[in-house]
């Protein structure tokens, strides 16, 4: 009975998927313990996660994983049974063990460098936790002694020798029909045994069945079975569920006594069992004493403790789908959207009656297309939780490295983001988290001196806001040391020495390439380790990063990302004869200027009055270099754009053409990144249009003073 | 001999492995994710034997065995416990709860089949 390797490979693959889920649950529960909010079920979840990983790993012969998980589990079991307490130090070790466990799982799955050598140090720390109640000596000497990992194969004959000795090896003898071919008893060691077997009532209550046990005996050799019915009471006295029968078996077999007794493994203590060898010659029979008497032991008290039912954990039904298939589907849906747009366009120009069948059908078609698109996008969406969990590990490692106590708070773990975005966010986020720990937070001594708790806080949050995903990394550290940052920027020649910069402009200096060098990292009390790299990575995802900092109370980096990388609701506009697309979610409203609303605040800088507030005007065509700035704003059309930091600006355009969904086509590396241009798209008529990044344009235009700086360095 | 088995384990891997071990031997395998789910599944079937894990969320193996034994029609249904440790006290506890026997994980398919035939006929 051997199988293709296929089903095992399948199970192995799903084992690793399950491992990821278990590791996630493990992290969650450890976090709860770390927050001091655990109950017994939390510890049980931790225990079960490690336990299940061990169980599965054993089946696949992943020895290193099994060995480590087993020792980890031993300590968790002590915790679970109140033999030790989980203080903060213990939870820290648990976190490290959980991290190591996930390293081992990944190593087992993907190969690569073997993390097993770190096991020793962690195991020593685990043992130290147990302290006086250390694991049994033999457990330390021979960790795998009570749990033998064993590769599972489905070749039924191969493994008999490697098995744990607990199961009755029932098939050790050749079938009875072969016995005739065997040599006579004397030469072969065939022995005869007499066995008395009296089941207790309890044996029946546990679902055991004497008939099956006797049948198993028969498989060991030639058996003569007699049933003793003398204890059967009269029928009116008979209690149907009592045990009245007993059996005597005369068994001729070459099996060892232990093997015969192993048939009764499951019922040990639930019956009285007496096994003695009897000599073949009559005169020796009387000399033989009972050798292995089995007396009934007291039935164990029924003290089972059912677990209290906790809030049910929702069970997710999942299908594993090759990512390539999803990509293909996403692309096809993208084409469908373009196709639908082209169809709309041709129907509109065909002068059809507005409420005719064709137009109604088109409307329905549009709605369906949009639903399909949304559903397809959902396929790629994943909660950011896995990403955040990776970050909590980064925090632990970074804080240990610089000897700071740091606590990570996460918010909005369930926020869903495109899978690709999550993957590509890992590096920039890691960078930012490390910065927060290394540069954002003060040393414990400085914190206490500043009247803060020694333990620093880093918060990682995700949320959906106006069609985008906002991810924030904030700390409660000292904030950005602005004079220092300004001085460094001047020293490095990044800005003129006499530059007058606002606070937020100084903060943004951190994003300049060349601002930070390795030399300035360790003594820089602000931030800035490779933030330009972070910014570039975020921009590549169609996102933006902003920074706010309050001296003495901390710094917050906010990343704003598109929900999906594939489509966008856009406003199609015309300026200087160019067709462009503005992301609709940034357009607050459209404006038509009256001459009296516009005033000049300095040459080249105009503002427009919008409901009592003044909003700077940005001439799109001029900013993009299509033409010189206009002189008259009377009757001009503009889009009121919401800037990320809460500011607004009026983006001057020539005409609004349409409002539609567009499929984002990335500009590949063949194009240099132009300021203010995010991507491109294909419109319904087949024309290619650039998709703008209005925030970028407005930022660039905001301060004429900064223009040389931005043109040279920021883009 | 075709037996119908209910396997209760919170680990998908373990459920898959049990199914893979038993189905080729002609068993019909039902599965459940934990004790409570097991009770639900048991409502519609009368398996010849039950295999259950001990450490499970919501309702663990001991609670599950208790609950099964309370049901008139399953009072004598053989129940095998899956355990990673062969520790005597675990066996004793399983039996006290009404388990028929136990299987040590990781199990060998042939032994699992044998053990089931041993308790379920």
Distance from CA of B116 to the nearest CA of A (A): 11
Token pair recorded at residue A178: 């072969």
Burial of A605 (0-12, 13-18, 19+ CB in 10 A): middle
A343 and A416: one domain?
no
What's the total number of domains in chain A?
Answer: 5
Instruction: Report the alpha-carbon distance of residue B107 to residue A564 in Å, rounded.
Output: 46
Pick from A164-173, A384-393, A595-604 the range whose average pLDDT is largest.
A384-393
A576 and A533: one domain?
no
Q: With contact defined as beta carbons under 8 Å apart, do A173 and A237 qualify? A: no
Cβ-based contacts under 8 A for chains A and B: 183
B119: CB partners within 8 A, 6+ apart? A207, A208, A209, A212, A266, B49, B78, B80, B100, B101
A540 and A580: one domain?
no
A351 and A428: one domain?
no
* B101, closest residue in chain A (CA to CA): A266
| Residue A134: inside a domain | yes
Q: Where residue A509 sits, what CATH number does that domain have?
A: 3.30.565.10
A487 and A588: one domain?
no
Q: Per residue of chain B (121 residues), give pLDDT as tens.
A: 578 899 998 888 888 888 888 888 888 889 998 888 988 888 888 888 999 988 888 888 888 888 888 888 888 888 988 877 666 777 777 777 788 888 877 778 888 888 888 888 7
* B16, closest residue in chain A (CA to CA): A11
Cβ count within 10 A of residue A675? 17
* B59, closest residue in chain A (CA to CA): A307
Does residue A669 carry a pLDDT above 50?
A: yes
Q: Which residues of A touch B99 (CB under 8 A)?
A: 206-207
**DSSP letter for each residue of A221-265:** SEEEEEEE-TT---GGG--TTS---EEEEEEEESS-HHHHHHTTG
Q: Which of B20, B96, B118 sits opposite A301 (nearest CB)?
A: B96
CB burial string A457-472: b at 16+ within 10 A, e below: bbbbbbeeeeebbbbb
Q: Which residues of B touch A58 (CB under 8 A)?
A: 84, 105-106
Structural domain for A367, as ranges:
323-379
Q: With contact defined as beta carbons under 8 Å apart, do A33 and A86 qualify? A: yes
Backbone angles phi, psi at A232, to 5 degrees: -65, 125
Distance from CA of A16 to the nearest CA of B (A): 9
Backbone angles phi, psi at A664, to 5 degrees: -80, 125
| Residue A78: inside a domain | yes
| Residue A171: inside a domain | no
Q: Do B86 and A166 touch (CB under 8 A)?
A: yes
Q: With contact defined as beta carbons under 8 Å apart, do B6 and B46 qualify? A: no
- Which of A129-138, A239-248, A544-553 has the least mean pLDDT? A129-138
Evaluated on CA atoms A6, A12, A14, A16, the torsion sign reads negative
| Residue A541: inside a domain | yes
- Of the residues A115, A141, A167, the one at which a domain ends: A141
Q: Do B114 and A168 touch (CB under 8 A)?
A: yes
* A74, closest residue in chain B (CA to CA): B85
- Percent of chain A past pLDDT 70, that is, above it, reads 79
A341 and A287: one domain?
no
Q: Which residues of A touch B93 (CB under 8 A)?
A: 300, 303-304
Q: Which residues of A touch B3 (CB under 8 A)?
A: none
Identify the residue among A16, A48, A167 best suited for mutation to test binding to B, counting B beta carbons within 10 A and taking the highest.
Answer: A167
Q: With contact defined as beta carbons under 8 Å apart, do A676 and A696 qualify? A: yes
| Residue A478: inside a domain | yes
Q: Which of A58, A154, A204 sits opposite B76 (nearest CB)?
A: A204
Nearest to A579 by CA among A698, A635, A660: A660
Q: Which residues of B touch A303 (CB under 8 A)?
A: 93, 96
Burial of A297 (0-12, 13-18, 19+ CB in 10 A): exposed
Per-domain residue ranges of chain B:
4-100
| Residue A154: inside a domain | no
Does residue A117 carry a pLDDT above 90?
A: no
Q: Which residues of A touch B57 (CB under 8 A)?
A: 44-45, 48, 310, 313
- Percent of chain A past pLDDT 90, that is, above it, reads 3
Q: Do A1 and B25 touch (CB under 8 A)?
A: yes
Q: Do A59 and B14 touch (CB under 8 A)?
A: yes
Q: Which residues of A touch B97 (CB under 8 A)?
A: 302, 304
Q: Which of A51, A156, A168 sits opposite B110 (nearest CB)?
A: A156
Which residue(s) pair with B28 in the sheet? B4
Does residue A173 carry a pLDDT above 50?
A: no
Q: Which of B62, B106, B110 sits opposite A304 (nearest CB)?
A: B62
Q: Do B118 and A212 touch (CB under 8 A)?
A: yes
Q: Quote the pLDDT of residue A161.
A: 43
* A62, closest residue in chain B (CA to CA): B106
| Residue A169: inside a domain | no
The residue ranking higher by pLDDT, A682 or A181, is A682
A556 and A615: one domain?
no
A397 and A357: one domain?
no
Q: Which of A14, A299, A309 sits opposite B12 (nearest CB)?
A: A14
For the stretch A261-288, pLDDT in tens is: 878 878 877 888 888 887 654 444 444 4
The residue ranking higher by pLDDT, A213 or A667, is A213
| Residue A151: inside a domain | no
A366 and A448: one domain?
no
For the stretch A491-541, pLDDT in tens is: 877 777 877 788 887 888 888 776 764 444 443 333 344 777 788 788 777
User: Residue A295 gets which letter from DSSP?
Assistant: P
Nearest to B4 by CA among B47, B43, B56, B40: B47
CATH assignment, B4-100: 3.40.50.2300
Q: How many residues does chain B have?
A: 121
Distance from CA of A154 to the nearest CA of B (A): 7
Q: Which of B14, B25, B85 sits opposite A56 (nearest CB)?
A: B14
Q: Do B101 and A14 touch (CB under 8 A)?
A: no
Instruction: Report the alpha-carbon distance of residue A445 to residue B117 in Å, rounded.
Output: 68
Give this prediction's pTM: 0.54
Q: Do B11 and A11 touch (CB under 8 A)?
A: no
A652 and A536: one domain?
no
Distance from CA of B37 to the nearest CA of A (A): 10
Instruction: Report the alpha-carbon distance of residue A418 to residue A634 in Å, rounded.
Output: 43
Does residue A573 carry a pLDDT above 90?
A: yes
* A80, closest residue in chain B (CA to CA): B55
Instruction: Report the alpha-carbon distance of residue A498 to residue A656 in Å, rounded.
Output: 42
- Coil vs helix vs strand at A574: strand
* B117, closest residue in chain A (CA to CA): A212
The residue ranking higher by pLDDT, A356 or A1, is A356
- Of the residues A562, A577, A608, the one at which a domain ends: A562
Q: Do B103 and A167 touch (CB under 8 A)?
A: yes
A41 and A66: one domain?
yes
Q: Quote the pLDDT of residue A138.
A: 40
Q: Do A167 and B57 touch (CB under 8 A)?
A: no
Token pair recorded at residue A484: 């220092």
Q: How far is CA A181 from CA A172, A177, A188, A253, A255, in A?
A: 17, 8, 12, 14, 17
A67 and A39: one domain?
yes
* A154, closest residue in chain B (CA to CA): B109
Q: Do A313 and B92 touch (CB under 8 A)?
A: no
């Amino acid at each position: 009975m051997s199988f293709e390797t296929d089903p095992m490979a399948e199970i192995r693959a799903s084992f690793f998927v399950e491992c990821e889920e278990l590791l996630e649950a493990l992290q969650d529960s450890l976090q709860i313990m770390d927050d001091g909010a655990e109950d017994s079920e939390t510890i049980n979840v931790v225990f079960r996660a490690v336990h299940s990983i061990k169980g599965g790993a054993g089946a696949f012969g992943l020895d290193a994983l099994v060995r480590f998980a087993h020792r980890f589990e031993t300590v968790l079991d002590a915790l679970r049974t109140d033999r030790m307490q989980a203080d903060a130090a213990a939870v820290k070790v648990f976190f490290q063990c959980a991290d190591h466990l996930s390293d081992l799982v990944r190593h087992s799955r993907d190969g690569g460098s073997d993390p097993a050598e770190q096991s020793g140090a962690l195991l020593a720390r685990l043992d130290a936790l147990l302290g006086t109640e250390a694991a049994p000596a033999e457990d330390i000497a021979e960790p795998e002694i009570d749990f033998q990992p064993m590769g599972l194969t489905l070749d039924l004959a191969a493994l008999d020798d490697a098995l744990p000795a607990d199961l009755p090896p029932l098939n050790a003898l050749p079938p009875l029909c072969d016995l005739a071919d065997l040599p006579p008893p004397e030469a072969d060691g065939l022995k005869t045994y007499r066995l008395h077997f009296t089941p207790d009532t309890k044996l029946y209550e546990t679902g055991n069945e004497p008939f099956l046990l006797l049948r198993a005996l028969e498989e060991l050799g030639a058996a003569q079975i007699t049933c003793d019915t003398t204890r059967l009471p009269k029928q009116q006295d008979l209690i149907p569920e009592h045990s009245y029968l007993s059996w005597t078996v005369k068994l001729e077999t070459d099996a060892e006594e232990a093997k015969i007794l192993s048939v009764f493994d499951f019922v040990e203590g639930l019956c009285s069992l007496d096994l003695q060898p009897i000599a073949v010659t009559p005169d020796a029979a009387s000399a033989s004493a009972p050798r292995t008497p089995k007396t009934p032991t007291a039935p164990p008290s029924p003290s089972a403790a059912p677990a209290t039912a906790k809030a049910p954990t929702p069970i997710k039904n999942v299908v594993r789908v090759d990512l390539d298939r999803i990509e293909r589907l996403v692309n096809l849906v993208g084409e469908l959207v373009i196709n639908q747009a082209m169809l709309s366009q041709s129907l509109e120009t065909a002068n059809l009656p507005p409420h005719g069948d064709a137009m109604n059908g088109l409307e329905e078609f549009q709605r369906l297309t949009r639903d399909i698109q949304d559903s397809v996008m959902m396929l790629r969406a994943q909660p950011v939780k896995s990403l955040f969990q990776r970050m909590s590990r980064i925090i632990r490692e970074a804080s240990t490295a610089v000897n700071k106590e740091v606590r990570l708070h996460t918010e909005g773990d369930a926020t869903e983001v495109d899978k690709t975005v999550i993957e590509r966010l890992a590096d920039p986020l890691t960078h930012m988290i490390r910065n927060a720990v290394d540069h954002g937070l003060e040393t414990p001594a400085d914190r206490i001196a500043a009247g803060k708790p020694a333990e620093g806080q880093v918060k990682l949050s995700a949320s959906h806001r106006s069609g985008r995903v906002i991810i924030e990394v904030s700390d409660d550290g000292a904030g950005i040391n602005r004079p220092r940052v300004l001085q460094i920027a001047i020293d490095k020649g990044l800005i003129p020495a006499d530059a007058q910069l606002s606070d937020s402009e100084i903060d943004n200096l951190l994003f300049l390439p060349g601002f930070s060098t390795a030399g300035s990292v360790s003594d820089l009390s602000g931030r800035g380790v490779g933030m330009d790299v972070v910014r570039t990575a975020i921009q590549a995802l169609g996102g933006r990063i902003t920074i706010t900092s309050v001296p003495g109370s901390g710094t917050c980096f906010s990343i704003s990302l598109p929900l999906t990388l594939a489509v966008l609701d856009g406003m199609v506009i015309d300026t200087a004869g160019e067709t462009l697309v503005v992301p609709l979610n940034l357009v607050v409203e459209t404006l038509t200027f009256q001459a009296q609303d516009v005033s000049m605040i300095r040459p080249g800088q105009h503002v427009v009055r919008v409901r009592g507030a003044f909003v700077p005007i940005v001439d799109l065509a001029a900013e993009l270099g299509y033409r010189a700035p206009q002189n008259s704003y009377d009757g001009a059309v503009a889009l009121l754009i919401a800037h990320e930091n809460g500011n607004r600006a009026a983006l001057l355009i020539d005409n609004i053409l349409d409002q539609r969904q567009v499929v984002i086509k990335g500009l590949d590396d063949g194009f240099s990144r132009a300021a203010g241009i995010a991507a491109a798209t294909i419109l319904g008529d087949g024309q290619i249009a650039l998709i703008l990044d209005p925030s970028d344009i407005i930022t660039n235009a905001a301060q004429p003073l900064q223009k040389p700086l931005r043109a040279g360095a920021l883009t | 001999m075709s037996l119908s088995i209910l396997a209760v384990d919170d680990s998908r891997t373990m459920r898959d492995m049990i199914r893979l071990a038993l189905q080729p031997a002609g068993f019909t395998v039902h599965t459940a994710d934990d004790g409570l789910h097991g009770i639900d599944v048991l409502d519609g079937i009368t398996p010849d034997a039950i295999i259950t894990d001990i450490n499970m969320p919501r309702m663990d193996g001991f609670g599950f065995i208790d609950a099964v034994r309370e049901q008139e029609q399953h009072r004598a249904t053989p129940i095998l416990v899956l355990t990673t440790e062969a520790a005597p006290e675990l066996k004793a506890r399983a039996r006290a709860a009404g388990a028929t026997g136990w299987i040590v994980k990781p199990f060998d398919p042939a032994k699992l089949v044998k053990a089931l035939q041993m308790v379920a006929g």
